[in-house]
Amino acid sequence: MIIDILTKKLNEILDYGISFRVIPSNRPELCDYQSDDVFKLAKLEHKSPIELGNKIVEEINQIDDFSSYFNSVTFAPPGFINIKVSEELINHVLEEMNEKPKFNLKTSENVETFVLDYGGPNIAKPLHVGHMRTAIVGESIKRIIKYMGHKTISDVHLGDYGLQIGQVIYGIQQDHKKIEDITLDYLEQTYPKISGLCKENDEIKEEHFLIDATYRQFFTKEKCSKGMYYMDKTPDPGYFVKNKVFAKELIKNGFIKLNEEVAKEYGEPFYLSSLKLGEKPNKKINYYDNIINSNEDYKYNKDELEENDINKMFR
């Protein structure tokens, strides 16, 4: 709206046989808007753009209602007219917007659906004010998109199950801590310590174990058969995979010996879900390699599990 007003005003003031356009400045520290049509005019009149630019700026600065539109208009070599708008113009535009439906916003004719995922802090670590940033930015973007007439699907993923929580539980088990003795300071120290120990273990044997305490959250029979996931507190663990023994063992203990068959049973529902969400099919997908190579923290050997009695962690 401001651009239209400034463009109209410039072309009322300047009579050079061309139409001057106004664009947002890419250097907001210098000005609000710019016009670079001095270059075009210089070619037509075979004159120096600096000479023409200074002349144009002088003309603009001499108009009677200058303050109604401009705070300042200056020339920047080699050929830019820099414009700072006046508070009077801003107030005028805001008043007009306030009188019109949706502040004169042009809603989109083609309604689309936007999926936004924001937030997602690691809850094994303490939250701080910095975590609010993505939540505020994400929520603001969502509201703007909805205000423009589009549909939105938004979510803040809370990692309240999974590897990081398993590592914290493991640390608590190692230290033989009682629930009433656990403090925030203790948790702050435990998670990075255990996470670091997991990453430092390079002696990974051929037997790998998949550890996942999130499994119970994701699937039910009806949804998974269609490749869709959602949170549910009480699904039947055997419904969503062919191998019920595998599903029940993983949910009961939080871990299971990893081989290609298990990897496929575990990974395929996630893959089907991704297809429903618009991901492209991958005919060469290798579930076992994906789990082993995507995250070092998935690698545990049998001796470690037995030594630390990891069964007790998830019961």
Q: What is the domain partition of the chain in residue ranges?
A: 2-89, 106-155, 163-314
- pLDDT truncated to tens, each residue of the chain (315 aa)? 899 999 999 999 999 999 999 999 988 899 999 999 999 999 999 999 999 999 999 999 999 999 999 999 999 999 999 999 999 999 999 998 888 888 878 887 889 999 888 776 766 667 778 878 888 898 999 999 999 889 998 877 665 555 666 677 777 877 888 878 888 888 888 878 877 776 765 543 344 567 664 554 444 333 444 333 433 333 344 344 455 566 666 656 666 777 888 888 777 767 776 777 777 888 888 888 877 665 444 444 555 555 555 444 433
Query: What pLDDT sits at residue 238?
Result: 39
Q: What separation in angstroms does the CA of 170 have from each of 126, 173, 187, 251, 257?
A: 18, 5, 12, 16, 18
Task: Name the class of domain 2-89.
Answer: alpha beta
Tell me which DSSP letter residue 58 carries. H
Asked if 289 and 295 count as a contact pair (C-beta separation under 8 A), the reply is no
Rounded CA gap, 297 and 308, in Å? 16
Hey, which residues does 75 pair with through a beta bridge?
81
Rounded CA gap, 96 and 68, in Å? 15
Query: What pLDDT sits at residue 209?
Result: 63
Asked if 181 and 123 count as a contact pair (C-beta separation under 8 A), the reply is no
Tokens 């010996």 -> residue: 257
Rounded CA gap, 211 and 226, in Å? 25
Helix (H, G, I), strand (E, B) or coil at 280: coil
| Number of residues assigned to the chain | 315
Rounded CA gap, 157 and 274, in Å? 16
Hey, which residues does 144 pair with through a beta bridge?
none
Hey, which residues does 312 pair with through a beta bridge?
none
Query: What pLDDT sits at residue 315?
Result: 36
